[in-house]
């Protein structure tokens, strides 16, 4: 089994068995049952766990750590200090920047690109052609479909699901169990609470903040800082022209004014909470009317 090691700035071919002393001097450790493809390049201080499998033309930077059972497809590139947990699987031509850290059982499709300092939790799955900016942090069991793009510093909670082609701007923060359907666009600094659901094609401008349990249907557009009031139970927000949402309930303003008591009781609101949200409805209605008449 032969590998390429850097010597005087150039890659030189070594035999793993015959040149074991050279590997030891470079602090390269290969576990049992390791399988290396052709033209593999290893930096100094690399450690490969038991049963690791590397495809052809794989290149690992200095001090890369691969846990047991890791599988890397052909053409994979791992930057300096990358750490992969046990049973991680990377598709062909995946590229990870310096100091990326992936937990156990992570799976990345072909042509994935992760920037420097990315952190992925246990059981994360990324589809083909996904691109994550620097310092992105994903919780456990996150699923990103094909073509997703996450900007620098994005943070996703546990069990988040993003559909095909979703785009998240710089500094976006999503809570646990968030679901974003195909084509959703979130601007910079957007913050979504737990259990938020956004339908296909929903677009939120910069710095929009939605609380827990908010549900928006397909093709909704909210600009920067829409009307939103976080009450005792659910978030009240402007859903569309002349429409308000409270949690997953969305109605015309006049319907809210007429039936707010019945709707509140159906969702277990107390009398005090119903009075509280009536004030919010009236306040939001005034703000929306003011925007409507402003030239």
Position 80 pLDDT exceeds 50: yes
Task: Establish if 96 belongs to a structural domain.
Answer: yes
Looking at 226, 242, 277, the residue that finishes a domain is: 226
Both 2 and 98 in one domain: the answer is yes
In a domain, 122, yes or no: no
Which residues, 6+ apart, have CB-to-CB distance to 109 below 8 Å? 91, 126, 127, 128, 129, 130, 146
Neighbours of 52 (CB within 10 A): 23
Percent of the chain whose predicted confidence (pLDDT) is above 90 = 44
* pLDDT of 184 higher than 90: yes
Q: How does residue 226 score in pLDDT terms, banded at 50, 70 and 90?
A: low
User: Is-contact 120 139, C-beta < 8 A?
Assistant: no
Among residues 211, 226, 241, the one where a domain terminates is 226
Q: Answer yes or no: pTM beyond 0.95.
A: no
* Domain presence at residue 22: yes
Name the residue range of residue 144's domain: 136-226
Rounded Cα distance between 160 and 279, Å, is 33
Residues 81-129 have pLDDT tens digits of: 999 999 999 999 999 999 998 888 888 888 888 988 899 988 899 989 9
Domain count across the chain: 3
* Domain at 158, CATH number: 2.160.10.10
Residue 206 belongs to some domain of the structure:
yes
Given a cut of 50, is residue 48 above it in pLDDT? yes
In-domain check, residue 119: no
Q: What pLDDT sits at residue 166? A: 94
Residue 123 is assigned to a structural domain of this protein: no
Please indicate, yes or no, whether residues 56 and 140 belong to a single structural domain of this protein.
no
Q: 286: which residues sit within 8 A by CB, 6+ positions away?
A: none
Provide the pLDDT for residue 223.
57
């Amino acid at each position: 089994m032969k590998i390429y090691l850097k010597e005087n700035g150039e890659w030189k071919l070594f035999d793993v068995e015959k040149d074991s002393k050279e590997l030891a001097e470079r602090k390269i450790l290969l576990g049992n049952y390791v399988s290396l493809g052709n033209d593999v390049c290893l930096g100094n201080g690399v450690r490969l766990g038991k049963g690791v499998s590397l495809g052809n033309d794989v290149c690992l930077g200095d001090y890369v750590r691969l846990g047991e059972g890791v599988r890397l497809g052909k053409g994979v590139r791992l930057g300096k200090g990358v750490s992969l947990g046990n049973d991680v699987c990377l598709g062909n031509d995946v590229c990870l920047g310096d100091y990326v850290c992936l937990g156990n059982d992570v799976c990345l499709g072909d042509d994935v690109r992760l920037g420097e300092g990315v952190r992925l939790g246990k059981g994360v799955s990324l589809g083909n052609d996904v691109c994550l900016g620097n310092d992105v942090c994903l919780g456990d069991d996150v699923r990103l479909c094909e073509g997703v793009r996450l900007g620098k510093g994005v943070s996703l909670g546990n069990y988040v699901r993003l559909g095909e082609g979703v785009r998240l701007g710089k500094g976006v923060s999503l809570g646990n169990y968030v679901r974003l359907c195909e084509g959703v666009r979130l601007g910079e600094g957007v913050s979504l609470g737990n259990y938020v659901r956004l339908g296909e094609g929903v677009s939120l401008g910069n710095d929009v903040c939605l609380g827990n349990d908010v549900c928006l249907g397909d093709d909704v557009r909210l600009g920067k800082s829409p009307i939103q009031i976080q009450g005792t139970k659910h978030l009240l927000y402007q859903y569309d022209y002349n429409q308000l949402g409270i949690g997953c309930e969305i109605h015309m303003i006049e319907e809210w004014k007429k039936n707010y008591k019945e709707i509140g009781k159906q969702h277990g609101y107390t009398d005090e909470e119903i009075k509280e949200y009536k004030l919010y409805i009236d306040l939001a209605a005034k703000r929306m009317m003011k925007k409507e008449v402003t030239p």
